[in-house]
Chain A
Amino acid sequence: MAKIVIVGAGFAGHYAALVGADALKGKGHHEITVISRVPKFTYIPSLVWVGVGQMAAEETQFDLKPVYDKMGINYIHGTVTEVHPDEQYVVAELPNGEKQNVNYDFLLIATGPYLNFAATPGLGPENGYTQSICTPPHATEAASKYLELVNRLEKGDRAKIVIGTGHGLCTCQGAAFEYICNIHNDLVDRGLRDRVEIMWLSNEPKLGDFGIDGLEAKQGSLIYTSEMMAEALFDEYDIKWEIRSHVRKVEDGKIYTVNLDGEEKEFDFDFAMLIPPFKAQPIKWIDKDGNDITEKICNPAGFVKVDANYGKPYEELDGPDWPRTYQNPTYKNVFAAGIAFAPPGPLSKPGKAPDGTPIGPTPPRTGYTAELSGRAAILNIVDMIEGKEPSHTASMAETPGLCVASMKNNWISGEAATIAIYPVARNRAKYPEYGRDIDMCVAEIGLAGSWFKAMLHYAFLYKLQAKPGWKLIP
């Protein structure tokens, strides 16, 4: 009997638990335990609509326990604080403050990110002046503050809105892009758009980079780029932009930035939603002698090292350097997936301001990419239980990135950018010209995307509750 412990129940961890339970059915008595600090699954892509006040947070969530009961998976509501990889157990802190040791034969770390608002003074809704749409409470609060602003605008006020990233090393520019477009269209529908100046503020090296080094797609004879798409869209929406920027600090109504050229700037705002930088959930790795070996197992941000080629400069990094099996090189029974695995480097070109401040997106590995890595990791664990070598791969340099960026949620007048890239990480060894198969890449704005986005919301929530036929939904 093998004991598998999965830490985290987001896209990677939760999907891995379902796939693992299904794959181990009828293969002996094996045990899967999920430890999550939140008792609900949240479909994070829909939080953009929560943040505009168009959807309740509850509509993006479901309780994990009933799903796990149905699938024969154990569930522990708690926060993992320590991993003891030699003795093969994790320490979970329960909501009542008690600690519980949970033994494992195989461990999958899929904790998702720690939202590091503290990296920028004044950032975030709790100890700062900006909003976030990264969690259901944050998105709900962002909606409330936004609707307060709408009330003021209806009384004749004018306002400045800033949306984007709140640090030079942020990821998830796509979520902020969706939010700025939804805010624009919501204000248009309310007849208030002419009273608001909207600005996009981000750490991207170029507009439309989205942390994936942008994309190219064929449109007839034209090579159409995400930069062209974003620039044309912002021009049409009358959204100003300030990119290549790190937010140094935020004060009440004022954002201070420095950019790659070393220019220090200040921007006033009445409402700002800035995505925080991510770091790993704080977990200590302790060896059999009680030594802290976190630095050996994880990268400096705390993400778990896997089968990637680490240490290469950006210019030399290529497709084969990206992890394939998500197995930790030191402890072969430990895997990491989703945001929790340490990427070998950024997808977008990193830069530095003259004062040395690093400015450049860190690689996104959320949503579909997280699911694929979680699936590969758990199927590799199943391989090992069966006495085989890990055979399942989901390298970001071999798998597609599928993204539907909502711009307005409406079945008749909605819009979204439908984006497909193959592969996510440029693989110049395989595709020398662009690093991607641009015949497979798409970037298209239209109502159809809005239908996709709505459909994905329902399809994912259905699939991830393991309802009848869930396995048919990829």
Chain B
Amino acid sequence: MAQPKFRFSEKDRRRRKNIIYQLFRFVVLGLHFWKLVRTTH
């Protein structure tokens, strides 16, 4: 059976633009980037 295609949900779209949620993700992703960068420096 063919896999259903992945599509962004309304919730995904709202989160992408939500400043509060994105501030949180900015911190989380920033820390993740920093962790990866530290593996090489």
A400 contact set on B, CB distance < 8 A: 36-37, 39-40
Structural contact, B5 and A231, CB atoms closer than 8 A = yes
Complex-state Cα separation, A412 to B5, whole angstroms? 30
Structural contact, B22 and A447, CB atoms closer than 8 A = yes
Knowing A446-B25, A452-B26, the reply to whether A228 touches B6 (Cβ < 8 A) is yes
Structural contact, B8 and A394, CB atoms closer than 8 A = no
Looking at chain B's contact residues, the main secondary structure is: helix
Complex-state Cα separation, A454 to B7, whole angstroms? 27
- A35 within 8 A of partner (CB): no
Structural contact, B29 and A474, CB atoms closer than 8 A = no
Structural contact, B23 and A448, CB atoms closer than 8 A = yes
A228 contact set on B, CB distance < 8 A: 6
A446 contact set on B, CB distance < 8 A: 15-17, 21-22, 25
- A210 within 8 A of partner (CB): no
Complex-state Cα separation, A189 to B8, whole angstroms? 21
Complex-state Cα separation, A4 to B5, whole angstroms? 54
Contact with B along A439-460 (1 / 0, CB 8 A): 0101011111101100000000
A235 contact set on B, CB distance < 8 A: 5, 7
Structural contact, A420 and B17, CB atoms closer than 8 A = no
Complex-state Cα separation, A445 to B6, whole angstroms? 14
Knowing A232-B8, A236-B8, the reply to whether A444 touches B25 (Cβ < 8 A) is yes
Contact with B along A217-261 (1 / 0, CB 8 A): 000000010001001110110000000000000000000000000
- A399 within 8 A of partner (CB): yes
- A175 within 8 A of partner (CB): no
Complex-state Cα separation, A440 to B38, whole angstroms? 13
Structural contact, B16 and A420, CB atoms closer than 8 A = no
Nearest-Cβ distance from residue B14 to partner chain A, whole angstroms: 11
Can you name the residue of chain B whose Cβ is closest to the Cβ of A229? Answer: B6
B30 contact set on A, CB distance < 8 A: 452
- A413 within 8 A of partner (CB): yes
Contact with A along B1-41 (1 / 0, CB 8 A): 00001111000010111110111011001101101111111
Nearest-Cβ distance from residue A326 to partner chain B, whole angstroms: 14
Complex-state Cα separation, A232 to B32, whole angstroms? 24
A447 contact set on B, CB distance < 8 A: 16-19, 22
Complex-state Cα separation, A400 to B36, whole angstroms? 6
- A372 within 8 A of partner (CB): yes
B35 contact set on A, CB distance < 8 A: 440
- A415 within 8 A of partner (CB): yes
Structural contact, B36 and A440, CB atoms closer than 8 A = yes
Can you name the residue of chain B whose Cβ is closest to the Cβ of A420? Answer: B36
Nearest-Cβ distance from residue B18 to partner chain A, whole angstroms: 8
Nearest-Cβ distance from residue A20 to partner chain B, whole angstroms: 16
Structural contact, A448 and B40, CB atoms closer than 8 A = no
Structural contact, B40 and A399, CB atoms closer than 8 A = yes
- A281 within 8 A of partner (CB): no
Complex-state Cα separation, A384 to B24, whole angstroms? 45
Structural contact, B29 and A444, CB atoms closer than 8 A = yes
Knowing A413-B17, A422-B39, the reply to whether A442 touches B22 (Cβ < 8 A) is no
Complex-state Cα separation, A69 to B25, whole angstroms? 41
- A171 within 8 A of partner (CB): no
Complex-state Cα separation, A166 to B19, whole angstroms? 38
A440 contact set on B, CB distance < 8 A: 32, 35-36
Interface members, chain A 376-429 (any B CB < 8 Å): 394, 399-400, 402, 412-413, 415, 418, 420, 422
Nearest-Cβ distance from residue A474 to partner chain B, whole angstroms: 4
Q: Which residues of B contact A (CB under 8 A)?
A: 5-8, 13, 15-19, 21-23, 25-26, 29-30, 32-33, 35-41
6 contacts between A and B (CB under 8 A): A228-B6, A232-B5, A413-B17, A442-B29, A446-B22, A447-B22
* Top 8 A-B pairs, shortest CB-CB distance: A448-B26, A228-B6, A400-B36, A447-B22, A448-B22, A448-B25, A446-B16, A474-B37
